[in-house]
Structure 1
């Protein structure tokens, strides 16, 4: 029997505490069988949930913490076209990245993405290779963009620019030996955690159940045991499923002994954009001794710049929920970017720092006495099926944020194969043509005219797209357009919407993930009282 295609229901895309309570109660009350349980609400798990729900499957997605709690909120906030992979000869990843970037920017989330101008200054201090390699790479990137059919109106072609234009885009650059510059355009997210939140809510609109702060303490065979993280005294909930997807990223080995994830730590610094002249371009600085590795100063929301990135082996002994940033990472990044600057950034300029753990994968023994198969520790993703009684446990990990949709499609294709063996008939993948909530043309979203956006803060429109008018219109707290703290371009209505529609259950959910205010400790402190007030009022 063919599985019926679902319709999008706007009310179902509204996630709040009451919805979570209802979903948990339904699971306890006898509705504890679903087609698919997805463990992990990062970008990969969220993509899997959306793909499966739009194929007509009954989906439950759970996370021990919150939407985008782990690696998915610690990225560079870029939708890369794969240039660095061309430099290492990995044409496959580069081509896939360019294709997926085009889908993300053109259909899935055009409201959360935009072109960022990457600027490489050509200065006498660099080697010949460092001066020429970026231009060659940018030309290859143009070819990837054209092959992916991404229009130049979305991502303009690369070009050479004058030293004057370099200084306009990146005012802090050292012009003493600056000759000219190269520019390229890549995709940039307003925020990675906002993308994941939109994915989860869109999946919910198509019928997926979403339960955060709920840990999967066991996953064997077709059975998952869940423990409510907000009620330590509650009894576990046992859910059976046609298939289970382990999308826990760097923690995948905790549920699947086939694989060991060896995390690589990527550290970013947070600085005041004014410290580097409020750049509008992303300054790209070669790492000494490398021809294809760079550090970036990226203009971001909230008047900040993110500066990074490191690539340090963390090992496999202990994988923390929130990685620490060592002083050595901070100094290394500053030393690299200061090469190209007229100003000298110091640790006093660092307002905050964060580190994400890239899941680089190696395989463990499969079968008694069998040889070990070790994957090249690259950015390739892997999808593994369990063995024996765990044959319906599917692990997806590795890869990169830009390819989340493809990873999800391939994973759900495998889920569909297993479900067809039981008589179910999931449909084909539809996610190349489905806009997320807030995007132009998204299902269930009322038509928004320019007049509807008049008077709304630009920052709110950037973060919520076509849902911005509803953020204000449905706000249940007073002074909706008042900033949550002086000097912060987030308003009270946004905090309220995070609680009423985006599943924020704690102050940390509000400040550290739905908004990114918490990346700077001082800003975080100024917003705590308002966050608690709005959370209490709305609940």
Structure 2
């Protein structure tokens, strides 16, 4: 199966789509759109995925990089959503992407208050019960437990010493953008045409009008799936969205003693919202996440954390640290928009309680356009399955039932097989069985002091559809999360693009 999103393949796909008729045009190349493209293509439908910028260019690269079981949903009484999250986490960890997801301990220290850690322990045990109730969940993660002061010091060295805590477990993605790329490449292996840099400007009946490389393109579609996230209203203005902004701060891991667990601190005044200090490969920690309403139309550019969000995150985590973080410790930050759906029963005003809005997704038909919006990264596959079920019913063709719950993404293999891959562990955790090929393309470091290699950049442009420096540094690798490192990497990235003659 050919999974390469090479420049040559893109050129063929663009040429082949001009005036073509396909079963499904998917608008949006985030995790939802890529998941829909894979589900539809694997059921035998002809598929074109059109993305305005790049794969994972929007919300899907700004998450907390977690595949979580929905403890917060339990706090809101959304048992069904929690079970769906736990089930989909088990699917990712056990079948579809075990190379991209690893178990991560979350520590709630007694330093945050013994009542807080006790509540976290109760929530963790409820989460364990939900996990035990879904297929593949029982053995996927360890169980919640209390830990002693020495365990707290070992797992999260930056916490004030002398007290114990509670540890529960969840799933952590190596990288959210890499999941999206893997989905798109797997969809391509099933015949989907994946075209980035394709701006859909209008849908007129069954005709999709797009602009690609400065040229107008018209495609006839049986169904158009609108998976544009917070920008979905451009094709479906009747959908009621209440976008919110989630922000993270980036700090060096050694500033927190290089933790191996996610430090978990409740937001003051809340019993269901937490700030996490999430350890990352490569010596960084992401500190998040906020939930702030966004007023007015959502702009195309990347959002930025507000000054108030920065202070809120620092103040919250500093409650339990021996040496408080300051703004001078920040080496980067990022923010993303959540496409939250306003319930039909709500009034005309959206209000400001985005943190309390459900993370359920919405399916809505408007003529030949089916909008799928909302939900969570963890549940992308379930959203895609429901979407394509509706598409198959509308078209009257295609396989009725999906197989994506047992369909490995490119690079995936059982954990025992991944452990035998002859390549550095870091590359295996990002590329799975393809890690030896990535290593062979060049082991030199892109930036001194960082782990990313020139081979990763070359692999991105030859196999993963990267077309610009931003694609390379901000999505295929995440060097761009530290602006000072990104500046040092631009020259190398530009040289790799030029050597492969990837930009016309």
Shift of residue 449, structure 1, vs aligned partner: 7.7
- CA distance 1:42–1:425, change in 2 (3 Å): closer
1:64/1:212 contact within 8 Å kept: yes
Kindly provide the CA deviation profile for residues 1-42 of structure 1, in whole angstroms up to 9, marking residues without a partner as x.
Answer: xxxxxxxx2x2x1002221111111122x4x11000000010
Aligned-partner Cα distance in 1 for 2:389–2:282? 39
Question: Which is greater in Rg?
Answer: 1
Pick aligned residue for 2:406 from 433, 457, 462: 433
Aligned-partner Cα distance in 2 for 1:449–1:291? 39
Shift of residue 241, structure 1, vs aligned partner: 0.7
- CA distance 1:204–1:150, change in 2 (3 Å): same
Per the alignment, residue 192 of structure 1 pairs with 176
Shift of residue 152, structure 1, vs aligned partner: 5.2
Aligned-partner Cα distance in 2 for 1:149–1:406? 14
Query: What SS does the corresponding residue of 1:362 show, helix, strand or coil?
Result: coil
Kindly provide the CA deviation profile for residues 146-169 of structure 1, in whole angstroms up to 9, marking residues without a partner as x.
Answer: 111335543111111101101100
Per the alignment, residue 411 of structure 1 pairs with 387
Query: What SS does the corresponding residue of 2:167 show, helix, strand or coil?
Result: strand
1:220/1:393 contact within 8 Å kept: no
With normalisation by structure 2, the TM-score equals: 0.95
- CA distance 1:38–1:160, change in 2 (3 Å): same
Aligned-partner Cα distance in 2 for 1:377–1:142? 24
Query: What SS does the corresponding residue of 2:341 show, helix, strand or coil?
Result: strand
Aligned-partner Cα distance in 1 for 2:313–2:65? 17
Query: What SS does the corresponding residue of 1:259 show, helix, strand or coil?
Result: coil
1:251/1:261 contact within 8 Å kept: no
Query: What SS does the corresponding residue of 1:75 show, helix, strand or coil?
Result: coil
> Equivalences for 1:81-480 in 2 at 5 Å?
81-123=69-111, 126=113, 128=115, 130-151=116-137, 153-175=139-161, 178-228=162-212, 231-232=213-214, 234=215, 236-362=216-342, 377-386=357-366, 391-420=367-396, 424-440=397-413, 452-453=421-422, 456-473=423-440, 475=441, 480=442
Pick aligned residue for 1:514 from 476, 490, 494: 476
Aligned-partner Cα distance in 1 for 2:447–2:311? 31
- CA distance 1:342–1:372, change in 2 (3 Å): closer
Shift of residue 338, structure 1, vs aligned partner: 0.3
Aligned-partner Cα distance in 1 for 2:34–2:77? 30
1:262/1:316 contact within 8 Å kept: no
Aligned-partner Cα distance in 1 for 2:316–2:300? 27
Counting matched residue pairs gives: 496
Per the alignment, residue 33 of structure 1 pairs with 21
- CA distance 1:356–1:457, change in 2 (3 Å): same
2:230/2:298 contact within 8 Å kept: no
- CA distance 1:208–1:167, change in 2 (3 Å): same
User: Is 1:502 the equivalent of 2:464?
Assistant: yes
1:263/1:359 contact within 8 Å kept: yes
2:152/2:163 contact within 8 Å kept: no
Shift of residue 316, structure 1, vs aligned partner: 3.3
Aligned-partner Cα distance in 2 for 1:341–1:472? 39
Aligned-partner Cα distance in 1 for 2:495–2:390? 45
User: CA RMSD of the aligned region, Å?
Assistant: 2.0
- CA distance 1:425–1:63, change in 2 (3 Å): closer
- CA distance 1:71–1:18, change in 2 (3 Å): same
Shift of residue 448, structure 1, vs aligned partner: 6.5
Aligned-partner Cα distance in 2 for 1:451–1:419? 44
1:363/1:372 contact within 8 Å kept: no
Gaps of 5+ in 1: 1-8, 366-370
Gaps of 5+ in 2: none
Aligned-partner Cα distance in 2 for 1:147–1:318? 39
Per the alignment, residue 6 of structure 1 pairs with none
2:461/2:497 contact within 8 Å kept: yes
Aligned-partner Cα distance in 1 for 2:419–2:130? 34
